[in-house]
Amino acid sequence: MNMQERNAIYQLAREWVLEAGQAIRKRMNTPLTIETKADANDLVTTMDKDTEYFFMNNIKKVYPDHLIIGEEGYGDDVTSLDGTVWIIDPIDGTMNFVHQKRNFAISVGIYHDGVGEIGLIYDVMADHLYSAKKGEGAFKNDTPLTPLPDSKRFDETILGVNHFWLCENHLVNEKKMQELVRTVRGTRTYGSAALEFAYVAEGVMDGYITMGLSAWDIAAGIVIVNEVGGVTTTSFGEPINLLQSASVLTCNPVIHERIVNGFMLKGRK
């Protein structure tokens, strides 16, 4: 994708993200239909569906040849990342949206032939837009994000860690994960993968590790983290395949090897 084409797509995507966010804020206190998907903790609301439909409708009108991967089912049956593919989570952090009315985001990643070209993560209630275009740096609203530091003491690291890692699980011995938590300075969990990627890019956290995410959870975040010099792999250090769900680690490169080799691989089941 050339720069002119990327810039044109970015401007439209940015407008649509901000418009969708404004619509969510206006409807925040209206009654919602809330359903469950895979389990009782996997929520979807009318707002999720309406927001994804808004993106799908706009994209197809302007770019009928572009493909869409969407969490709520309005996208295409995508079997490869050839061409231009929009990867959308209309509300990442639906449980937060339902229970807290904050700490959720719109996440839009745009890829061309498998390469992340554009990433947009919009913290709707805080009105913070994290954005990046390939090779042009990352921003929070209009302020450039600083590249991640090239040195970091591990015992001063802040990690985003889902609490399920500390319970018995099918991926890693929980004792090894408890050791990780005791070794770093602190851990946090925000309930929105998109926001946690944004916080890694911003330097609010040094890394984020999670058990199982899909393309719409991470596509935008990968682009943004890349632009500040971060790295994203599976939690075991393998390349990410956006067409498959996987455990995910995104972090400052200076702590990546320590997390993967020192804890994840040693505790792998």
Q: Which of 121, 7, 98, 119 is nearest to 47 (CA)?
A: 98
Q: Is 89 annotated as a binding residue?
A: yes
Q: Is 91 annotated as a binding residue?
A: yes
186 three-class SS:
strand
86 sits in which H/E element = strand 84-92
Q: Is 217 annotated as a binding residue?
A: yes
Q: Is 255 annotated as a binding residue?
A: no
CA dihedral 71, 215, 262, 162 (to 10 degrees): -20
Q: Are 222 and 240 in contact (CB under 8 A)?
A: yes
Q: Is 158 annotated as a binding residue?
A: no
Q: Which of 49, 54, 47 is nearest to 29 (CA)?
A: 47
Contacts 24+ apart (CB under 8 A), 33-38: 34/98
Annotated binding site: 71, 89, 91-92, 217
Annotated binding site for Mg(2+): 71, 89, 91-92, 217
